[in-house]
């Protein structure tokens, strides 16, 4: 099973990026593909700022913009045959108080991975999803931020990084 980073989904829909066709091919050819709630949030953030696209489609389909964004997310999930998996709602108790589990895991991984915040969150979601039994073996991304930590991702999370 592959964890699909937001960046490759965006790349597959961005005709100005030279990796579009390759990203699309990878998304179409890779088998089991899982995404996290963080992917949905990042996609929503990108979509919500495509005002013209969203307002045109919302008007054409008679939907409010927030529902339209929801429909686009579902379309993307279906289009690339992705599976969205929520992590169980859990809270960790750290010395500084109670913290939502994905954030607590990200904090724990930060010293080892030294990634930027959002990349770190993706690593945390991979760990949590794996801990919940999802057999994730690969991270698929176009984000070069993961390039320098491939070895550590393999050692710490047991995943291979596939860069497009």
Give whichever of 47 and 149 is closer to other proteins, judged by the CB atom. 47
Q: Which of 26, 63, 66 is nearest to 48 (CA)?
A: 66
Q: Is the dihedral of CA 132, 119, 136, 153 positive or negative?
A: negative
Give whichever of 63 and 107 is closer to other proteins, judged by the CB atom. 63
Q: At what angle do helices 101-113 and 117-131 cross, to 10 degrees?
A: 110
Give whichever of 29 and 93 is closer to other proteins, judged by the CB atom. 29
Q: Which two tokens stand for residue 15?
A: 């005709």
Residue 138 CB, nearest approach to other proteins (Å): 19
How far, CA to CA in Å, does 10 sit from each of 6, 20, 55? 6, 9, 19
Give whichever of 84 and 100 is closer to other proteins, judged by the CB atom. 84
Residue 46 CB, nearest approach to other proteins (Å): 5
Which positions touch other proteins (CB under 8 A)? 6-7, 10-11, 13-17, 19, 42, 46-47, 50, 53, 57, 61-63, 67-68, 70-72, 74-79, 82-84, 116-119, 142-145
């Amino acid at each position: 099973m592959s964890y699909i980073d937001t960046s490759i989904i965006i790349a597959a829909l961005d005709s100005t990026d030279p990796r579009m066709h390759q990203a699309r091919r990878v998304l179409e050819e890779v088998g089991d593909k899982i995404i996290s709630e963080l992917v949905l949030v990042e996609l929503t953030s990108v979509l919500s700022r495509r005002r013209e696209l969203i307002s045109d489609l919302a008007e054409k389909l008679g939907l409010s913009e927030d529902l339209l964004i929801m429909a686009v997310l579902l379309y993307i999930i279906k289009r690339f045959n992705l599976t969205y998996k929520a992590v169980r709602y859990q809270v960790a108790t750290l010395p500084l108080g109670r913290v939502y589990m994905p954030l607590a895991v990200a904090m724990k991984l930060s010293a080892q991975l030294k990634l930027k915040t959002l990349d770190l969150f993706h690593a945390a979601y991979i760990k949590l999803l794996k801990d919940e039994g999802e057999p994730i073996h690969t991270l698929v991304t176009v984000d070069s931020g993961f390039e320098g930590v491939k070895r550590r991702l393999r050692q710490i999370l047991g995943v291979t990084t596939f860069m497009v």
